[in-house]
Structure 1
Amino acid sequence: MTRLPDGAPRLDAVDEVPVWLEVNGEPAVTWMCTPEQLPELVVGWCFGEGYIDSKADLLSMRPCAKEPGFWVTVPEERYQTVEGQERRRVLASGCGAVTTILGSLSSVPRRTTRPALPDLAQTRALFKELFARGERYQETGGIHAAALTDGHTLLAHAEDIGRHNAVDKVLGARILGGDRPDDLILLVTGRISGELAFKAARARIAVVATPSVPSTIAVEIAQAAGMVLIGRAVSGQPQVWQGPAA
């Protein structure tokens, strides 16, 4: 336990705040999240949900001056396409109620090329770098992290109390930089859930790796998408799942 300047013990806790989003004037989502990299969170979530496909689709993004929240405007045709799809409220594992479009495995985006298995020793080294960057993790341990990498360098990194939020933040950082996450490797520090795997498939991610394990639904989604999942990625015996490309 750390101590304050007067010698009193400090109770370690992770910041958590509600942040709301309206898209084209309508309430879209409220996150319980760590209050950092919020524009990246907004953009990454909009990308993952299909409201935008690139930075050019983000017509405007305005933060609220009174409380944590954002107003976003996207092309009306994209907004209507997303809103016209059947959406279900899902109590996601460990992350609360989220709006998602899961449907059947036939709706999972399928890769046209089979991704190469990354160098597993280099993947372990990248996870070591990811953990080293984790300031909040080192302070409290009660945080998730995510990163995008080309297999050699960490291209984006984020921490959040929610692992899905951390993923949205790195996707958003990529989109705000004018790039896309296609064919990159996604590193996550927590379990790979079904929703996280589906989010990665929609983003055209090639590989998702974790020191933990995937869920059974995540494995099914990865196999349907032709995406690679790597569990126990920092161990001496990583577990690899891969499905065929379309």
Structure 2
Amino acid sequence: MNDLVTNQQKIIRFSNESLLEMEDEIAVEFPLTIVVDGDELATMVCTPTQMEELVVGFLASEGLIRTADEVVSLSLDERRGFAYIELKQKQQVTKDFYSKRFIGSCCGKSRQFYLHNDARTAKTVLSQTQITVDQCFSLMKEMQNRSVDFQMTGGVHNAALCTPDGVVIERTDIGRHNALDKIFGYCLQHRISPKDKIMVFSGRISSEVLLKVAKIGIGIVLSKSAPTTLALDLANDLGITTVGFIRGTTLNIYTHPQRIIEARVN
């Protein structure tokens, strides 16, 4: 599999009061089962790109590792859809904190993996990074301009790791949580400190998204969409600045506004 994000599908489109046969780009959906030290941990549905980053980020997000060096080996069987991981510290991943379950690509209750381990992996963020309102608009625009796969399919989420001056890396996935895990994995593999970074996100800021941002250690999350009440409760508790509805020349600052400076007044 060669980092396949989209595939062509023959469709019939109704337009201008007529039916037309044509081809459309469809987002690829791929099941990946993660096996840690011989135990099946979870099956996630993802976009089959940067899968090593995805696995490393997922393991760190779930508290099984803290650095990429704790992974002794990671091999992908892309034909069968398996990732096999050997860790330095062996763990019984299917008991207590980690019970095997399905992780869906859609929103809401299909993915319920945050239990006891969230309490020990989602720490308070002490980032001193500040950005201007204009930089919020600029970073969102840059991420959207880079989002070619979304422009083709409308069926993926995008996340971008940024400095105040621009995008460092962007990742795409059908699952918003997977896009964040890919960025987390990239940071661990390349020893990139997240403390002075910003997360720019295409989707809703849910409690799960907020927890992942906290686990990565980023103090500012920007979104073109809305937050949820639980996400804002967590953001207040964990010291994360949340900015939503970044569209055109407007935005909403919900929590810890001290990191957003030079607020624009209409």
> TM over 0.5: same fold?
yes
CA drift of 1:141 comes to 1.5
Aligned pairs for 1:113-192 within 5 A: 113=126, 115-192=128-205
2:123 matched residue in structure 1: 109
- Mapped partners of 2:121, 2:257: distance in 1: 16
CA drift of 1:40 comes to 1.1
Aligned pairs for 1:68-79 within 5 A: 68-76=81-89, 79=91
CA distance 1:176–1:201, shift in 2 (3 Å):
same
CA drift of 1:52 comes to 1.5
Between the two proteins, what is the percent identity of the paired residues?
Answer: 27
1:85 matched residue in structure 2: 97
Deviations 1:186-219 (A, max 9, x none): 1110001101111111221111110001111110
CA distance 1:185–1:66, shift in 2 (3 Å):
same
- Mapped partners of 1:49, 1:204: distance in 2: 14
Unaligned runs of 5+ in 1: none
What SS does structure 2 have at the residue aligned with 1:29? strand
- Mapped partners of 2:121, 2:39: distance in 1: 26
Unaligned runs of 5+ in 2: 1-7, 11-19, 259-266
2:60 matched residue in structure 1: 47
Aligned length: 240
- Mapped partners of 2:218, 2:158: distance in 1: 17
Corresponding letter in the other structure for 1:31: M
Q: TM-score, normalised by structure 1?
A: 0.85
Preserved CA contact (<8 Å) 1:183 1:204: no
2:40 matched residue in structure 1: 27
Q: TM-score, normalised by structure 2?
A: 0.79
CA distance 1:105–1:169, shift in 2 (3 Å):
closer
- Mapped partners of 1:24, 1:94: distance in 2: 29
1:225 matched residue in structure 2: 238
Preserved CA contact (<8 Å) 1:105 1:221: no
- Mapped partners of 1:240, 1:141: distance in 2: 26
Q: What's the RMSD between the two structures over aligned residues?
A: 3.1
CA drift of 1:243 comes to 4.6
Q: Which protein is richer in strand relative to its size?
A: 2
CA distance 1:84–1:103, shift in 2 (3 Å):
closer
- Mapped partners of 1:136, 1:237: distance in 2: 25
- Mapped partners of 1:102, 1:125: distance in 2: 38
What SS does structure 2 have at the residue aligned with 1:10? strand
What SS does structure 2 have at the residue aligned with 1:13? strand
Tell me which of 172, 189, 193 is aligned to 2:206.
193
